[in-house]
Amino acid sequence: MIAFTSKVLGLVALLALAACAPATRIESNRSASYTTQPTRVYVHTEIHPEWGNAFTAAFERRLGTILKECGAASQFGRIDKLELNEKSRLDEMRKFGPDAVLTARHNGGTKDQYGKLILGIYDSRLADVKTGEIVWRASSTVSRGGITIELAERGDAFAVELSNKLKQDQIFRTCPIIELKK
């Protein structure tokens, strides 16, 4: 009976650890000369092929909500790695009329033995449209987390963590840091 109980407790502890969503590690750099807070942000993402649509849709939905809370309108466009006609994305962006463009592009990662991405590395950049300069850049390491965590939950968390870094770096100064559930 004791051996069975200890096995059950071990399994419960393992599942609890697997359910923990690890924090995303983000390193960033901001141009000291950039003092403007964006009010119209076009966001290009290249994250859906690796994590799937649930992750990307949650990321876009949450980031859009956060940007709105920070006083910025936003529009999202997804970058296809194999897209031949990039002009359509540029036309879409120009019609929106952003003052800043935020990109989040896949920049490597680690897959498990079945080919599933378990760790994604992303290069994010914020460019000022008026000057054409990159004014903020970040490298993010996003862990898949335990198998009991929904990919949509990780996409939502990545949006919060990336936006928190933009706030910490004083790109967005009029809205508070969002605390993630532990």
The string of pLDDT tens digits covering residues 21-47 is 567 899 999 999 999 999 999 999 887
Q: Is the pLDDT of residue 161 over 70?
A: yes
Spatial separation of the C-alpha atoms in residues 156 and 63, rounded to whole Å: 8
Assigned CATH for 2-168: 3.40.50
Reported pTM: 0.83
pLDDT at 148 over 80: yes
Nearest-angstrom CA–CA distance, 181 and 136:
27
Position with higher pLDDT, 89 vs 169: 169
* Single-letter code of the amino acid located at 160: V
The DSSP H or E segment spanning 25 is strand 25-30
Provide the residue ranges of all domains of the chain, joining segments of one domain with +. 2-168
Kind plus residue range of the DSSP H or E element containing 146: none
| H or E element in which residue 2 lies | helix 2-19
Q: Which residues pair with 120 in a beta bridge?
A: 109, 142
**SS3 assignment, position 73:** strand
3-state secondary structure of 128: strand
What was the pLDDT predicted at 140?
A: 95
Taking alpha carbons only, the member of 87, 89, 125 closest to residue 105 is 125
DSSP 48: H
Nearest to 35 by CA among 176, 173, 178, 175: 173
Q: What is the mean pLDDT of residues 157-170?
A: 96
Interior CA angle at 170 toward 165 and 172, to 5°? 80
Dist. CA 41–CA 64, nearest whole Å: 9
**Beta strand pairing status for 40-46 and 73-78?**
parallel
Residue 72 in this model has a pLDDT that exceeds 70? yes
